[in-house]
């Protein structure tokens, strides 16, 4: 999947969804390279991001990690931070 950097007016929730899709598409690679990040479940993700989750629905069976939580934290700080993070992911 190709991730397109967002324009400044793009909704941060959309950006975060894109980052999560990127993570899920590359989950095996992340698990191999960053085993310490593996193992967080969607329930734990919801617990830490209640406000964000109020407007977003994820597949209950997907495993999310500290990496994704960190990305959400960064993206929620500002649109500029979200754009910087998207650019960083694109350069991987």
Region 58-65 average pLDDT = 42
Residue 78 lies inside a defined structural domain of this protein: yes
Residue 69 lies inside a defined structural domain of this protein: yes
Token code pair at residue 17: 């969804």
Residue 6 lies inside a defined structural domain of this protein: no
Region 23-50 average pLDDT = 53
pTM for the whole structure: 0.31
pLDDT band at 76 (very low <50, low <70, confident <90, very high): confident
* Domain region containing 71: 12-90
Sign of dihedral through CA atoms 51, 58, 61, 32?
negative
Residue 3 lies inside a defined structural domain of this protein: no
The total number of structural domains in the chain stands at 1
């Amino acid at each position: 999947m190709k991730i397109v950097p967002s324009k400044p007016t793009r909704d941060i929730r959309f950006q975060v969804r894109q980052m999560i899709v990127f993570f899920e598409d590359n989950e095996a690679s992340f698990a191999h390279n960053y085993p310490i990040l593996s193992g967080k479940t969607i329930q734990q993700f919801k617990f830490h991001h209640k406000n964000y989750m109020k407007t977003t629905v994820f597949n209950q069976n997907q495993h999310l990690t500290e990496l994704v939580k960190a990305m959400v934290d960064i993206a929620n700080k500002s649109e500029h931070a979200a754009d910087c993070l998207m650019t960083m992911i694109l350069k991987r």
